[in-house]
Amino acid sequence: MSSEYIQEINRRRTFAIISHPDAGKTTLTEKFLLYGGAINLAGSVKGKATARHAVSDWMEIEKERGISVTSSVLQFEYDGYCINILDTPGHQDFSEDTYRTLMAADSAVMVIDASKGVEAQTRKLFKVCVMRKIPIFTFINKMDRDANDTFELLDDLEIVLGIATCQINWPIVCGKGFKGVFDRTQNCVVTYEDTQKGTKEGETTEIPLEEEEKVLSFIGQEPLDHLKEEIELLDGASAEFDLEAVRRGELTPVFFGSALTNFGVEIFLRHFLEMATPPLPRRADTGVIDPAGAFSAFVFKIQANMNKAHRDRVAFMRICSGRFDASAEVRHVQGGKVLRLSQPQQIMASERKVVEEAFAGDIIGVFDPGIFSIGDTVCAPKESFAYEGIPTFAPEHFARVRQLDTMKRKAFVKGITQIAQEGAIQIFQELTSGMEEIIVGVVGVLQFDVLKYRLENEYNVEIRLENLPYEHIRWIENKDIDVNKLTGTSDMKKVKDMKGNPLLLFINAWSVGMTVDRNEGLILSEFGRD
């Protein structure tokens, strides 16, 4: 591969933003775009001071409820780097989408609300990062509001998540009097003004700590004395910065700021780009694939109806190696076909631009006529390997779906199948029946609302959901077992998924154990692999 292409790959940074709901993740994403010159005016999710919706929230239901329910992909340029941000839904009911998105990222930015510390959803997502050894960068947000003690926040991080922290900057006064941050690497105080409620970049002033009088005039005596005390404590207690440990996912650099007012956002972005890795080799069934090799990518997300006018379906791919050329043929490994990817585009939330080329680290969306599934690999025609599958998480809530107008059968089957292929819901059928009896499984109950909303608004189909008591689902690992002959408990239900694989539903964990005991050699699994 030519040095020009390798240079293009090396300037890529692809990361996911994760957090608990309401920690300010979507607002932070907006501010990155503001600094990258991708937007002129940043909108917040609640949008009181500025009545714009966030760029990354494109679905109507997201704008109505002020939450993100699908992951969006944003690309922008900053300081010679090409940055791909994967914004993930914070709400726990949509965590499955987040898990899959993390498979496509090289590092993760964890946003924490300073007044709440580490919350349940953050813990869950953090575990996935650790499992995949993804480097984690922490941004402690909302320092302009009443916050917990800063040292307690760090203890919380270290104890709850079990990861060492290294503070790159430090807040100067929390709450209403928030003055800015102290940059430990440069030994200077950074203050901000006139960001016009965070819609503009604002003026930044950097003052070396030695220039005491100047620092005093900006922040005042008491905050300065307090800052000096805290710096002394930090120098004695915090972990040494070790770039290799960061890249191994063993140490998290911590930054403080306020995404709403832009305090600390640019400092964070600059440091992050220096510390984060370019695209790294990935594991496939034939061994490790080098990013500088021939073209390859995998599908981590499918989204239907991004464009209401066209009723289309887009497969999102993370390019893992090489250069993508829109005119070249590729091999779809799972489909066993050589084809051209049609209408390749990069997506800026709901805005799209057609791309002729893209490089390892980039995310592209391609038109999907219904041939791709989540986890599929595409590569150069002469190659044939598959990247590791993406786990399917077990749904925890189940409901029977009934359509109210039987005349709209076709639209109903199309709608529910497409939404299921996106991975937001899983659909099951009775072993013996067809599509007239459909059971839907979801990770969080809010997904039922989204399903209902989308079927009505995108497919013009009304449905009624009847909740079912099942809480546990198990995939049958043994291929040779006759499902019809299995003997289980009275509450067990036999179903099949979209691919015809047999599964079992149970009301409680006891029934799972009993069924395994009653059927010799039966192996059940909590995860399905695409």
Check: CB of residue 165 under 8 Å from CB of residue 137: no
Taking 80 as the threshold, does the pLDDT of residue 225 lie above it?
yes
Cα 486-488-493 angle, rounded to 5 deg: 90
Beta strand pairing call for 136-141 and 251-256: parallel
User: Confidence band (pLDDT; 50, 70, 90) for 321?
Assistant: very high
Beta strand pairing call for 397-403 and 377-379: unpaired
User: Confidence band (pLDDT; 50, 70, 90) for 365?
Assistant: confident
Model pLDDT, residue 292: 92
Model pLDDT, residue 399: 93
Give the integer Cα–Cα distance in Å for 306 and 418: 12
Residue 109 exposure: Cα atoms within 13 Å on the Cβ side: 31
Model pLDDT, residue 318: 92
Average pLDDT over residues 407-416: 88
Average pLDDT over residues 63-92: 67
User: Confidence band (pLDDT; 50, 70, 90) for 12?
Assistant: very high
Share of the chain above pLDDT 70, in %: 83
| CATH T-level topology, domain 282-379 | Rossmann fold (3.40.50)
Taking 60 as the threshold, does the pLDDT of residue 407 lie above it?
yes
For the chain, domain boundaries: 12-73+89-275, 282-379, 391-529
Give the integer Cα–Cα distance in Å for 427 and 377: 23
Beta strand pairing call for 282-284 and 330-332: unpaired
Beta-strand (E) ranges in 26-92? 72-78, 81-87
Taking 70 as the threshold, does the pLDDT of residue 188 lie above it?
yes
Average pLDDT over residues 430-455: 79
User: Confidence band (pLDDT; 50, 70, 90) for 255?
Assistant: very high
User: Confidence band (pLDDT; 50, 70, 90) for 103?
Assistant: confident
Q: For residue 33, what is the DSSP state?
A: H
Per the DSSP assignment, residues forming a β-bridge with 503 are: 475, 495
Beta-strand (E) ranges in 71-174? 72-78, 81-87, 107-113, 136-141, 164-167, 169-172
**Domain 391-529, CATH homologous superfamily name and number:** Peptide chain release factor 3, domain III (3.30.70.3280)
272-284 burial by CB neighbour count: b if 16+ within 10 A, else e?
bbebbbbbeebeb
Taking 80 as the threshold, does the pLDDT of residue 447 lie above it?
no
Check: CB of residue 16 under 8 Å from CB of residue 56: no
User: Confidence band (pLDDT; 50, 70, 90) for 330?
Assistant: very high
Model pLDDT, residue 42: 42
User: Confidence band (pLDDT; 50, 70, 90) for 44?
Assistant: very low
Check: CB of residue 31 under 8 Å from CB of residue 198: yes
Instruction: Identify the burial level of 479 via C-beta atoms within 10 angstroms of its C-beta, where 0-12 means exposed, 13-18 middle and 19 or more buried.
Output: exposed
Q: For residue 258, what is the DSSP state?
A: B
Domain 12-73+89-275 sits in CATH at 3.40.50.300
Q: CA separation (Å) from 473 to 13, 155, 183? A: 38, 37, 50
Ranked by mean pLDDT, the top range of 71-85, 299-313, 497-511 is 497-511
User: Confidence band (pLDDT; 50, 70, 90) for 307?
Assistant: low
Domains 12-73+89-275 and 391-529 in one fold: no
Model pLDDT, residue 71: 45
Share of the chain above pLDDT 90, in %: 18
Map tokens 């120098």 to a residue: 235
Taking 80 as the threshold, does the pLDDT of residue 49 lie above it?
no
Q: Which of 108, 132, 133 is closest to 122 using CA atoms? A: 108
Taking 80 as the threshold, does the pLDDT of residue 526 lie above it?
no
More confident residue, 227 or 493: 493
Give the integer Cα–Cα distance in Å for 55 and 69: 14
User: Confidence band (pLDDT; 50, 70, 90) for 275?
Assistant: very high
Three-state SS for 122? Answer: helix
Taking 60 as the threshold, does the pLDDT of residue 45 lie above it?
no
Q: Which of 475, 487, 479 is closest to 520 using CA atoms? A: 487
Average pLDDT over residues 501-513: 89
First to last CA, the chain: 32
Beta strand pairing call for 493-496 and 472-476: unpaired
User: Confidence band (pLDDT; 50, 70, 90) for 484?
Assistant: confident
Average pLDDT over residues 85-99: 60
Q: What is the pLDDT of residues 343-358, one digit of tens each?
A: 888 766 456 778 889 9
Give the integer Cα–Cα distance in Å for 87 and 301: 13
145-164 burial by CB neighbour count: b if 16+ within 10 A, else e?
eebeebeebbebbeeebebb
Instruction: Identify the burial level of 517 via C-beta atoms within 10 angstroms of its C-beta, where 0-12 means exposed, 13-18 middle and 19 or more buried.
Output: exposed
Ranked by mean pLDDT, the top range of 13-17, 372-376, 414-418 is 13-17
What's the mean pLDDT when you consider all of the chain? 80
Cβ-proximal residues to 92 (8 Å cutoff; 6+ apart), any chain: 21, 120, 121, 124, 444
Model pLDDT, residue 200: 58
Q: What is the pLDDT of residues 130-153, one digit of tens each?
A: 777 889 999 988 888 887 788 888
More confident residue, 312 or 478: 478
Give the integer Cα–Cα distance in Å for 451 and 430: 20
Taking 80 as the threshold, does the pLDDT of residue 296 lie above it?
yes
Q: Cα dihedral angle (403, 404, 410, 416), rounded to 10 degrees?
A: -30
Map tokens 């059940």 to a residue: 524
